[in-house]
């Protein structure tokens, strides 16, 4: 499996998240080496804590952390994911992935015999009666971070990085190597890579504001927004030093859900302010 995104960038993003959650560095990466049952249980616990941290940060009220940590995760009406959906903090496919993982975790956790689960056998049995179309949709929900050369994926942008899988060995007659084949033969790796995508998105949201995800994945002219912020900071140095903060507050007031992140000195972070600028531009276009 070959990552299409610098692993150093991903490692930095995950390291920030691990620090926020009080985990030792490298926890996310080491999960892939756990047994199947332990992998699912620990991964679900990690994502549940990450989502609680994400929602707490959006409200900027640390005293709510314990309350959010106790709310059930996967219910999209009353759980943590209800907040994620309402505030548009993650793409729809990320929310669906978390719900699927919760269902799998609950199924495995409620019977002690499941400690010996084999995910390969589990997913193969789960899909044994699936038609090709249903199997593709099933794989897309679990393994959207996996890409196969030659396959087309028309869905919304779902990750800053992806993992390209090349398979050069011969396959049995009638079998096609695609995302579904990858999931059924390497379910733990496929789910792990996809979970890293979700955790990366949460980390970005936590440190740059909830608007950062759509800015990175959907904005075609990010440089224009970043250049505008560079100019704003340049004007602040020779004129009004409070100008970046004034603009940050203006964006937060005008645009529902936008939160501009500040650095340790209380100054707006350039990338976060650029993402807010992009949201303001989209808002203006909708009003025209």
Identify the CA nearest to 90 among candidates 28, 43, 156, 150. Answer: 156
Indicate yes or no: pTM above 0.85. yes
**Which pLDDT score is estimated for 169?**
64
Regions in the chain scoring below 50 on pLDDT: none
Domain boundaries in the chain?
2-208, 212-287
The answer to whether 73 touches 41, Cβ cutoff 8 Å, is: no
**Which pLDDT score is estimated for 47?**
97
Q: Kindly report the backbone phi and psi dihedral angles of residue 187, in degrees, each rounded to the nearest multiple of 5, phi listed first.
A: -65, -40
Q: Where are the alpha helices (DSSP H) in 71-186?
A: 80-86, 92-109, 119-126, 132-142, 179-185
134-167 residue pLDDT tens: 999 999 999 999 988 888 887 777 888 888 887 7
Q: Tokens standing for 258?
A: 């936008």
Identify the CA nearest to 79 among candidates 61, 103, 60, 62. Answer: 103
How many angstroms separate the CA atoms of 12 and 239, rounded? 35
Coil, strand, or helix at residue 278? Answer: helix
183-213 residue pLDDT tens: 999 999 999 999 999 999 999 999 999 999 8
Q: DSSP class of residue 147? A: E
| C-alpha separations of 190 from 66, 109, 183, 185, 235 in Å | 32, 21, 6, 9, 47
**Which pLDDT score is estimated for 7?**
60
**Which pLDDT score is estimated for 165?**
82
What does the angle CA 21 – CA 261 – CA 85 come to, to the nearest 5 degrees? Answer: 65
H-helix or E-strand containing 164?
A: strand 163-164
CA atoms in the 13 A half-sphere facing the CB of 192: 20
How many angstroms separate the CA atoms of 161 and 14, rounded? 13
What share of the chain in percent tops pLDDT 70? 94
Q: Tokens standing for 181?
A: 């084949």
């Amino acid at each position: 499996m070959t990552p299409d995104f610098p692993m150093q960038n991903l490692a930095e993003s995950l390291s920030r998240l691990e620090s926020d959650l009080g985990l030792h560095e490298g926890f996310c990466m080491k999960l892939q080496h756990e047994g199947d049952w332990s992998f699912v249980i620990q991964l679900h616990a990690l994502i549940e804590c990450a989502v609680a941290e994400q929602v707490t940060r959006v409200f900027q009220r640390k005293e709510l952390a314990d309350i959010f940590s106790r709310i059930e995760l996967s219910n999209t009406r009353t759980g943590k994911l209800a907040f994620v959906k309402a505030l548009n903090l993650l793409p729809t496919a990320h929310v669906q992935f978390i719900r699927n993982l919760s269902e799998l975790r609950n199924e495995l956790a409620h019977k002690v015999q499941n400690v010996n689960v084999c995910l390969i056998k589990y997913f193969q049995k789960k899909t044994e009666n699936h038609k090709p179309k249903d199997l593709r949709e099933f794989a897309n929900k679990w393994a959207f971070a996996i890409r196969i050369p030659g396959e087309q994926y028309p869905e919304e942008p779902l990750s800053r990085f992806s993992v390209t899988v090349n398979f050069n060995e011969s396959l049995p007659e009638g079998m096609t190597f695609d995302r579904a084949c990858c999931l059924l033969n390497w379910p733990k790796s496929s789910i792990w890579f996809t979970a890293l995508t979700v955790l990366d998105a949460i980390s970005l949201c936590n440190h740059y504001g909830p608007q950062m995800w759509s800015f990175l994945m959907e904005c075609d002219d990010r440089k224009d927004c970043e250049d505008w912020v560079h100019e704003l900071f340049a004007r602040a140095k020779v004129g009004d030093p409070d100008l970046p903060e004034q603009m940050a507050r203006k964006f937060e007031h005008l645009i529902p859900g936008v939160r501009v992140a500040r650095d340790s000195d209380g100054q707006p972070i350039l990338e976060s302010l650029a993402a807010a600028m992009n949201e303001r531009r989209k808002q203006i276009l909708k009003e025209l």
